[in-house]
Amino acid sequence: MNWEPWTGCYAASDGCANCYFYGPNAKRHGQNTITKTDKFDWPIRKNKNGEYNIKGNKILATCFATDFFLPEADEWRSVAWAMIKERQDIDFLILTKRIDRFKVALPDDWGDGYDNINIGCTVENQSLADQRLPLFLSYPIKRRFIAASPLLGEIDLSAYLKTGGIDHVTASGESGRDARICDYDWVLSIREQCINAGVTFWFKSSGSLFKQNGVVQKVNPFQQGNVAKECGINILNGKRLF
């Protein structure tokens, strides 16, 4: 289940070049203006009996079609944090390419972080990993994961994984007609790093161009999750992220 309190986004880094929502071939082309949606207060909206419309014990993927930390959403984010705090019975999963803006508009009572938030920092290549992950690890966040997505090259995450501050890593190739290749060797390397650090790992999607044993395979958008799953390399230990 997704919650998109605002819509619109624009590129933050190399991984945004072929963004499904706002890239050159996006279905929602041109929506770079950031606006609140009519679902803004959805997590706390109640029915006529005074019960929340969204029942508890759920994972709510938050801002997966925009970015939770966009500067244009600073004012709204304070209200979003308050709604998240109110719904302690829901796990809010936030994925961002703007972790450097994490502290802007953070609530006063944040402390070590709220229990019901899991934040994912996206890293697409080594240089972005080295820029974002030291910041990510320095912030008071109770549950953190890394999304190597879209994976654009070999990445060494070992130094960050061995801190013990990262719970989980996902890896995905890029999707779309101009997608760049995802090399299976890069995926296996990240998996190995996770094994060495005792961190769970999920190969979520092969992307549109998947290179395996030197051969590049074109993968239909509806098959990319299956192709990744069929590789049989997930180490989830019962963990459910989405």
Nearest distance from C-beta of residue 80 to ligand SF4, angstroms? 16
Q: Are 156 and 193 in contact (CB under 8 A)?
A: yes
Among 3, 5, 7, 67, binds ligand SF4 (CB under 6 A): 67
| Residue 58, both tokens | 């759920």
Q: Which CB sits closer to ligand SF4, 66 or 172? A: 66
Which class for 207: exposed (0-12), middle (13-18), buried (19 or more C-beta within 10 A)?
buried
Residues 134-193 within binding reach of ligand SF4 (CB under 6 A): none
Q: How far apart are CA 54 and CA 135, in angstroms?
A: 33
Nearest distance from C-beta of residue 23 to ligand SF4, angstroms? 7
Nearest distance from C-beta of residue 15 to ligand SF4, angstroms? 6
66 touching ligand SF4, by CB under 6 A: yes
Stretch that binds ligand SF4, among 9-17, 43-51, 202-210, 231-239 (CB under 6 A): 9-17
Nearest distance from C-beta of residue 122 to ligand SF4, angstroms? 8
Q: How far apart are CA 55 and CA 43, in angstroms?
A: 9
Residues 90-129 within binding reach of ligand SF4 (CB under 6 A): 97
Stretch that binds ligand SF4, among 5-13, 129-137, 173-181, 234-242 (CB under 6 A): 5-13
Total number of residues binding ligand SF4 (CB under 6 A)? 11
Stretch that binds ligand SF4, among 10-18, 38-46, 83-91, 177-185 (CB under 6 A): 10-18
Nearest distance from C-beta of residue 51 to ligand SF4, angstroms? 32
Helices H, strands E: what count in the chain? Answer: 5, 12
Q: How far apart are CA 230 and CA 1, in angstroms?
A: 24
User: What one-character-per-residue DSSP string does 175-236 give?
Assistant: -STTPPPEEHHHHHHHHHHHHHHT-EEEEEE--SEEEETTEEEE--GGGHHHHHHHT---B-
Q: What angle do CA 240, 173, 217 make, to 5 degrees?
A: 120
16 touching ligand SF4, by CB under 6 A: yes
Q: Are 201 and 234 in contact (CB under 8 A)?
A: yes
Helix (H) / strand (E) element for 54: namely: none
Stretch that binds ligand SF4, among 15-23, 53-61, 85-93, 127-135 (CB under 6 A): 15-23
Q: Which CB sits closer to ligand SF4, 70 or 157? A: 70
Which residues of the shown chain bind ligand SF4 in the complex (CB under 6 A)? Answer: 9-12, 16, 19, 21-22, 66-67, 97
